């Protein structure tokens, strides 16, 4: 009797285990079955937020679940990134990250709450967004990038450039130009995109390496003058604007970029599903046009391609941060 009871319990345990495994697999295969939160480590209205919101509605349609944008600004994007790094790796908490929290901050901050290459799972590089050198047309007479370089060289220490913070790509773009062109542009750090307000006044700072989405309407309205972009190739949003690389400084590349990541341990099938949806969205002509009009060049790379890109960018920016001497804490 005891033997039969034990045999029955063993069979029951086997059935329950098999059922649980099948149920888990089915649940995983049903992803997503509830709303997805995309964390943005910056305030609403900034470039990272703009990119996230451009994607969210189409992602909702493709994945069949609401997409919630949650802004968690602070520490150069680290607060938002750390929130995702410590989230459950089930695909329901993702980060729309940028070059700062996903590459630059690793060498900028002495104490990082997460490891950008170990604690996050790359999903896809969404867009490449060059910085654009903009000047106040009332205080900077230069009409071209070459004229700007000559002007700054002729008046060392006279011209000041704003950035969205020490160690950001808008700061380090200026460091790289100073280094390559032998300029003496003085850096003035601000907290976020408010820096553009002072460039518009021209009293404290006269120029800035701003992301195209944040400044393009001011350029189109004639309030700022754009001289060049910081990417290796021209931007689809401002195709007539030359690159610094083609303007006498070959290889100059100090651009921003934005991508989706999840926590470490995110199942590959979930990462691939989200990536496929983003790639599909970015291939749509209407969506591509929306991105390009904002000055963002859509990408939609695979998780493996994005992972390698993050490694390369982390190494590249570490060298620039070292030269600049910038530290955030």
For 92-121, the pLDDT digits (tens) are 999 999 999 999 999 999 999 999 999 999
Contacts of 32 (CB under 8 A, 6+ apart): 63, 64, 65, 91, 92
Based on the domain organization, do 239 and 283 belong to the same domain? no
- Per the structure, the count of domains in the chain is 2
Integer angstrom CA distances of residue 239 from 28, 128, 132? 44, 14, 12
Parallel, antiparallel, or unpaired for β 186-189 and 297-298?
unpaired
Based on the domain organization, do 122 and 215 belong to the same domain? no
In a domain, 67, yes or no: yes
Based on the domain organization, do 146 and 226 belong to the same domain? yes
pLDDT at residue 54 greater than cutoff 80: yes
Based on the domain organization, do 154 and 111 belong to the same domain? no
pLDDT at 193: 72
Quick check: 133 and 243 in contact, CB under 8 A? no
Interval 3-22 mean pLDDT: 44
Lowest mean pLDDT among 1-5, 19-23, 96-100, 183-187: 19-23
Name beta bridge partners: 258. 98, 127
Quick check: 162 and 188 in contact, CB under 8 A? yes
In a domain, 45, yes or no: yes
Q: What is the CATH number of the domain that holds 98?
A: 3.40.190.150
Integer angstrom CA distances of residue 44 from 48, 55, 67, 102, 256? 8, 15, 16, 19, 18
Where in the sequence is the domain holding 210, given as residue range(s)?
131-247
Q: What angle do CA 295, 290, 44 make, to 5 degrees?
A: 75
Based on the domain organization, do 44 and 96 belong to the same domain? yes
Based on the domain organization, do 239 and 135 belong to the same domain? yes
Q: What is the CATH number of the domain that holds 146?
A: 3.40.190.10
Domain boundary (225, 247, 269) is at 247
Based on the domain organization, do 309 and 261 belong to the same domain? yes
Based on the domain organization, do 156 and 200 belong to the same domain? yes
Average pLDDT, the chain: 90
Output phi, psi for 219, to 5 deg: -70, -45
pLDDT at residue 146 greater than cutoff 80: yes
In a domain, 186, yes or no: yes
Contacts of 312 (CB under 8 A, 6+ apart): none
Based on the domain organization, do 141 and 117 belong to the same domain? no
Domain boundary (247, 276, 296) is at 247
Output phi, psi for 186, to 5 deg: -95, 130
CA nearest to 234, candidates 128, 147, 162, 100: 128
Helix (H) or strand (E) holding 134: strand 131-135
pLDDT at 191: 79
Based on the domain organization, do 261 and 112 belong to the same domain? yes
Based on the domain organization, do 116 and 262 belong to the same domain? yes
In a domain, 107, yes or no: yes
User: What confidence category does residue 295 fall into, taking pLDDT thresholds of 50, 70 and 90?
Assistant: confident
Q: Where are the alpha helices (DSSP H) in 30-168?
A: 47-63, 78-85, 99, 105-108, 145-154
Domain boundary (207, 225, 247) is at 247
pLDDT at residue 192 greater than cutoff 90: no
Based on the domain organization, do 41 and 179 belong to the same domain? no
In a domain, 190, yes or no: yes
Task: Tell me the C-alpha distance between 76 and 97, whole Å.
Answer: 11
């Amino acid at each position: 009797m005891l033997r039969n009871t034990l045999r029955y319990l063993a069979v029951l345990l086997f059935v329950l285990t098999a059922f649980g495994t099948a149920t888990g697999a089915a649940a995983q295969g049903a992803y997503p079955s509830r709303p997805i939160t995309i964390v943005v480590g910056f305030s609403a209205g900034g470039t990272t937020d703009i990119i996230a919101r451009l994607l969210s509605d189409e992602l909702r349609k493709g994945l069949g679940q609401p997409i919630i944008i949650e802004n968690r600004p602070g520490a150069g994007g680290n607060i938002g990134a750390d929130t995702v790094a410590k989230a459950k790796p089930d695909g329901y908490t993702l980060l729309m990250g940028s070059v700062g929290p996903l590459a630059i901050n690793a060498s900028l901050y002495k104490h990082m709450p997460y490891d950008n290459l170990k604690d996050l799972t790359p999903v896809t590089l969404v867009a490449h967004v060059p910085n654009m050198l903009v000047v106040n047309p009332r205080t900077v007479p230069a009409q071209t990038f070459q004229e700007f370089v000559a002007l700054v060289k002729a008046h060392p220490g006279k011209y000041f450039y704003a950035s969205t913070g020490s160690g950001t790509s808008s700061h380090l773009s200026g460091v790289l130009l100073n280094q390559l062109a032998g300029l003496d542009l003085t850096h003035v750090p601000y907290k976020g995109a408010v820096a553009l307000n002072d460039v518009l006044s021209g009293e404290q700072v006269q120029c800035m390496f701003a992301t195209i989405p944040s400044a393009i309407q001011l350029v189109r309205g004639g309030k700022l003058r754009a001289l060049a972009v910081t990417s290796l190739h021209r931007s689809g949003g401002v195709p007539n604007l030359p690159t610094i690389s083609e303007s006498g400084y070959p290889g100059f590349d100090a651009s921003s970029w934005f991508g989706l990541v999840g926590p470490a341990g995110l199942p590959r099938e979930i990462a691939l599903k989200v990536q496929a949806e983003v790639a599909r969205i970015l291939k749509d002509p209407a969506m591509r046009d929306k991105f390009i009009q904002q000055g963002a060049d859509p990408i939609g790379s695979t998780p493996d391609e994005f992972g390698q890109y993050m490694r390369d960018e982390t190494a590249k920016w570490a060298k620039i941060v070292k030269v600049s001497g910038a530290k955030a804490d």
